[in-house]
Structure 1
Amino acid sequence: MRFLITGGAGFIGSHLTRFLISEGHKVLILDNFSTGSPKNVDSESGSPVPEIVDGSVCDAELVDRCTREVDAVFHLAAAVGTFTIARKTIESLRTNLHGTEAVVEAACRHRVPLLLSSTSEVYGLNAKTGLTEDDDRVLGSPPHSRWSYAEAKSVDETIAHAHAVEHDLDVVIARLFNTVGPGQSGEYGMVIPRFVRQALAGEPLTVFGDGSQVRCFCHVLDVVPALVALLREPGTRGQVFNVGGSEPVRIDQLARRVNAITGSPGGIVHVPYDAYFEPGYRDTPHRVPDCAKARARIGFRPTRDLDEIIRSVAADQRAHAVIRS
């Protein structure tokens, strides 16, 4: 088969590209390299290489041309990361809304199966332990850019679901909870690669607020096969599936584990949200997924624990000398 991966040169996209190629498939990548890099999808000597198109998912004509050439689409392209959303809110909204609209409409026109990558951010401030796919969204006030990412991705899901209902689009939605692993940058706000970079540099790990926020992390090598399985699974049209880890951890405890695993003497420093974000910034205090639906449907069970995730990120950063302030 031939797959289109939007954002295929990014963190998750590059791992997905390698996975599909290893299965003998052909991959077409559409990426504008705003956060991804062609180096992320460099193939080993003698291995097949993906075809790469340099362009934006907001270019509807380009998206259409790419879509009509493939058998299925993984839509991963998005503006992501708390720092990106806070600093480039308008650009992020355009990418996440118009880009998804272009991809969904192209998939619908050409009758191509689609997996839409969404995010646990859509749950917002809902602090229930074990969030299920049908749980309510609880978002803060719209003027706070903090919630613009969740709003955009929620609309993305609505667009996809409406096309499934009204036009029989074969689309499935994967709601990801903090996917982490080798190749991920902390530059855009992702906490584990940011902590690891600081630890390897011997710097204090910057924890926002009091560090009591609870998260679950999932290794990208557990997530990617789940995405492929969801796209292949029959009878999932218009459905949403949580995909995430099962080991809750407080962010201050996470920082201590990163220091312990890397042997860093840097310690931890707490910083107020206002030092990096807009006044009145609110973080979600608790976000833990219930992945029973994905487990029942595709047998999804993450096999890599949090310590292995941290070690893999540290090994990758050491190998690539990503130790800078």
Structure 2
Amino acid sequence: MRVLITGGAGFIGSHLAEAYLEQGHEVYIIDDLSTGSLANVTPLQNDARLGHRLFVHTDTILNQDLMLELAGTCDVVFHLAAAVGVHYILENPLKSIKINVEGTEKVLEICAKFKKRVLITSSSEVYGKHLHAPLVETDNIIYGPSSKFRWSYAASKLMDEFTALAYFRTKGLETIIARLFNTVGPRQTGAYGMVIPRLVSQALGNEPLTVYGDGMQTRTFTYVKDVVAGLMALMACDDAVGEVFNIGGTEEITILDLARKIIARTGSASTVAMIPYEEAYAKDFEDMLRRVPSIEKIRSLVGFAPVTDLDTILSRVIDYQRLTMA
């Protein structure tokens, strides 16, 4: 099978590419490297077992001629290319909206032309300001005002979902939507606001761990290889077509407790520094106070359940960052 991954040089995309290569498939990647890195895929290219089946294109998904060629060549498409990270979104609002909305529309249009099944990665951000848990795929959406640009990312990903479902309903395009909840693991950078790599980096440097607000906001975290297994299972399942699925972990933890856990597991001399939101972000930021997924839908369909607990995730991220800092 030939697999196209947009954003394939990114954190999740590179792990997805590796998994398909290990199974003997050909993988085609397109990535403009705005948040991805060739360093994520270079080891795969240099692997004698895998590299001859990996084809990497450094370009934008808005390059229609190249996308036509790649989609025409491949059997299935994973659309992961997107603006990511709270800091990146707030600093690049127009570019983020353009790549998320226009880019997804282009991918769907081209997939429809060739009748190629496409999986769109969405985000838990689409749920907005819910306080209940767990979040179910059929929950209502609650956003803040448009003046708070933090919600532009959530709204753009929701528009991606609407567009994908519209292509399914009107053109018969086989679309699948996966809402990801805080995917974590090796190769992830903290440069765009990802909390675990950022806090681990601070702990290993014996710097204060910066926790925003009162630290009582809660999250769950999912190991990247568990997420990849879920994405691959959905792509292979005919009954997943036209549906939306949460993919996430089940261990809920406050960010303050997460910081304390990271300090303990690294043996760091760091302390926790509480930073008001208005100092950490621009004035148009609002946080989601709770984000916990229901995974009953994906579990019942393809048997997905995360197998990597939070302590193991932290150990692997800590080991990876120690290695890269050495």
Band of TM-score, shorter chain: over 0.9
- How many residues align? The count is 322
1:244-255 to structure 2, matched below 5 A, reads 244-255=248-259
Counterpart secondary structure, 1:307: helix
Residues 1:296 and 2:270 are matched in the alignment: no
Corresponding letter in the other structure for 1:126:
H
Q: Give the Cα–Cα distance (whole angstroms) in 2 for the partners of residues 258 and 238 of structure 1.
A: 39
| Deviation (angstroms), 1:278 | 2.1
- Structure 1 residues 20-77: Cα deviation after superposition (integer angstroms, max 9, x where no partner): 0000000000001111122211225322221011111122332222111100000000
Secondary structure of 2:3 counterpart: strand
Contact 2:89 2:153 in 1 (8 A): yes
Q: How far, CA to CA, are the matches of 2:122 and 2:65 in structure 1? A: 23
- 2: CA distance, partners of 1:270 / 1:225: 36
For 2:290 and 2:6, locate their aligned partners in 1 and report how far apart those are by CA, in whole Å: 30
TM-score by length of 2: 0.97
1:5 CA displacement: 0.2
The answer (yes or no) to whether the contact 1:122–1:154 under 8 Å persists in 2 is: yes
TM-score (norm 1): 0.97
Aligned partner of 1:46 among 38, 45, 48: 48
Unaligned runs of at least 5 residues, structure 2: none
Output the amino acid matched with 2:18.
R
Q: Deviations over 1:240-278 (max 9, x none)?
A: 000000000000000000101011111100001111322
Q: Is the 8 A contact 1:64 1:103 kept in 2?
A: no
What does residue 25 of structure 1 align with?
25
Equivalent residue letter for 2:243: Q
Query: 1:8 is matched with which residue?
Result: 8
- CA-atom RMSD, angstroms? 1.0
For the residue of structure 1 that corresponds to 2:57, the secondary structure is: strand
1:258-273 equivalences under 5 Å are: 258-273=262-277
Is 1:100 equivalent to 2:104 in the alignment?
yes
Cα distance in 1 for residues equivalent to 2:191 and 2:138: 32
Aligned-residue offset at 1:280: 5.0
For 1:47, give the aligned amino acid: R
Structure 1, unaligned stretches of length 5 or more? none
Q: How does 1:81-160 map to 2 (within 5 A)?
A: 81-160=85-164
Partners in 2 of 1:120 and 1:46 — Cα distance? 37
Conserved in 2, the CA contact under 8 Å of 1:119 and 1:176? yes
Give the percent of matched residue pairs that are identical in Structure 1 and Structure 2: 44
Q: Distance in 2 between matches of 1:304 and 1:234?
A: 27
- Aligned-partner residue type, residue 16 of structure 2: L
Alpha-carbon distance between aligned partners in 1 of 2:66 and 2:101, rounded to the nearest angstrom: 16
Aligned to 2:59: 55
